[in-house]
Amino acid sequence: PNKINSICCIGAGYVGGPTMSVIAQKCPHIKVTVVDINEERINAWNDENLDNLPIYEPGLNQVVAEARGRNLFFSTEIEQGIKDAQMIFISVNTPTKTYGTGKGMAADLKFVELCARQIAQAANEDKIVVEKSTLPVRTAESIKRILEAEDSEHEFAILSNPEFLAEGTAIEDLHYADRMLIGGESDENGQNAIEALVDVYANWIPREKLITTSVWSSELSKLTANAFLAQRVSSINSISALCERTGADVEEVAHAIGMDSRIGSKFLKSSVGFGGSCFQKDILNLVYLCRHFGLPEVAEYWEQVVKMNDYQKHRFAKQIIDTLFNTVSGKKISFLGWAFKKDTNDTRESSAIYVAYELLQDRAEVHVYDPKVSSDQIYKDISYLQEHSSSSPYCKEKLPKDWKELLHIHKESDLCLKNSHAIAVLTEWDEFKNINWDSVYANMYKPAFIFDGRNILDREKIAKIGFEIKSIGKG
């Protein structure tokens, strides 16, 4: 097998950016070029000021500072990038389709297909093509067919190498991966390609954590991992609803069951619902595949994980409206957090969007403070849901025409919280624990309500000040 000394990655997003930065950091002998059609994004990756990188991830700045310009490059020259590399990663977005066959369920593979065509057109020698994007099982077959049909001169090996990093902890997850999965074909070309990629990761990941499988198992493992993780969140969230009715405490229940080593304690945190660009998209994709392969019972089983999540977001919004005497019209509801989890500026599928949407439907004045999300992004998120409202059964109604006047974004939490009727915690940012609640209370309408969608506040302390606090899963 070839020793790899040049890599190109197509797609400089939340996955391509951090993964390639870490490969470059750990493999100074490999030239890594990340290419993207989005010029603005590439410029931001090349910005002298590291605080302007297009994505926020703890520790990313240092990694980029170490490798950029040495053996890590960001560029819009896609064709050149492909030509110069022995190994090409495809790390483009694969969102849920919003049109045509499979609308609202299947993964949209148009960007991946375009990459395959770009690779075939630019290739000047045999190449190893690595699927880094999350893809439906058997996508490698389509990629291979396109490559071979467009370019019969060169040989292509297709590998599946799904990414398991979570946002907010991407660098740590990449440095200390639980495992790295590489799927390849069983012929000699395939096995050589697997070995070439294993060699790259072996620069910092222990050999026993590098697992190799068939392409199909690897592709399916990624969808399965996300489905299992999301299922745990929906499972504990379903129990949170029962806790609220019965007086049980969901955190006590999670702790008690999590101590069973067969269940395990991680990923049992009840919340306002899971968000992020992956869980919902990947489960819907799995559901679509099951239906496609004639397995409606299996499809329905997994679909329930998404339905429970929709219900959890709706339950939270409804609780706010019900508690505020059945109307929020004209009332100031202040959101702490908009990102789908702490330590990221990513808002894709964030629960905050859906909760805000339901409150705006009821004509609330929604005020938002998030330490990392731009005001532009927040307006975009609501506009997008307004256009594609079918993605949640509870957000089907169009918003009032003047909804933009009902939504206010703040740069400081104090101003956001001042004179509000209710406060809702949507993201678990650490800084929210240090808010001066005495002064917030003094400047609020009474009864002063707090809805803690992340269970981060000290209930006793908050209640003592005079607030009425509602937490997830606490009766």
If one asks whether residue 437 binds ligand UDX (CB under 6 A), the answer comes out as no
Q: 283, 134 in Cβ contact below 8 A?
A: no
Cα–Cα distance, 36 to 372 (Å, whole number): 23
If one asks whether residue 381 binds ligand NAD (CB under 6 A), the answer comes out as no
Cα–Cα distance, 162 to 116 (Å, whole number): 17
If one asks whether residue 342 binds ligand NAD (CB under 6 A), the answer comes out as no
How many degrees, rounded to 5, is the angle at CA 116 between CA 105 and CA 47? 90
Q: Measured from the CB of residue 342, what is the shortest distance to ligand UDX in angstroms?
A: 8
If one asks whether residue 53 binds ligand UDX (CB under 6 A), the answer comes out as no
* Binders of ligand UDX in range 336-395 (CB under 6 A): 340-341
Q: Any binding-site annotation on 112?
A: no
If one asks whether residue 343 binds ligand NAD (CB under 6 A), the answer comes out as no
278 is catalytic: yes
* Listed ranges 50-58, 163-171, 206-214, 393-401: which one lies at the site for ligand UDX (CB under 6 A): 163-171
Whichever of 173 and 362 has its CB closer to ligand NAD, that residue is 173
Cα–Cα distance, 335 to 355 (Å, whole number): 10
Residue choice 44, 114, 166, 465 for contact with ligand UDX (CB under 6 A): 166
Per-position x/- string for 31-50, each x denoting binding to ligand NAD as judged by CB under 6 A, each - no binding: ----xxxx--x---------
* Residues paired with residue 157 on neighbouring β-strands, in sequence order: 128
If one asks whether residue 221 binds ligand UDX (CB under 6 A), the answer comes out as no
Residue choice 13, 16, 275, 371 for contact with ligand UDX (CB under 6 A): 275
Q: Any binding-site annotation on 11?
A: yes
Cα–Cα distance, 351 to 272 (Å, whole number): 7
Whichever of 182 and 399 has its CB closer to ligand NAD, that residue is 182
Residue of 278, 290, 395, 416 marked active site: 278
Report residue 144 as tokens: 């291979």
Q: Any binding-site annotation on 348?
A: yes
Q: Any binding-site annotation on 359?
A: no
| Active-site residue set | 278
Query: Which residues in this chain contact ligand NAD in the complex, by CB under 6 A?
Result: 10-16, 35-38, 41, 78, 91-94, 111, 114-115, 133-134, 163, 165, 167, 277-278
For binding to ligand UDX (CB under 6 A), which residues are involved?
A: 163-167, 226, 229, 233, 267-269, 271, 274-276, 278-279, 340-341
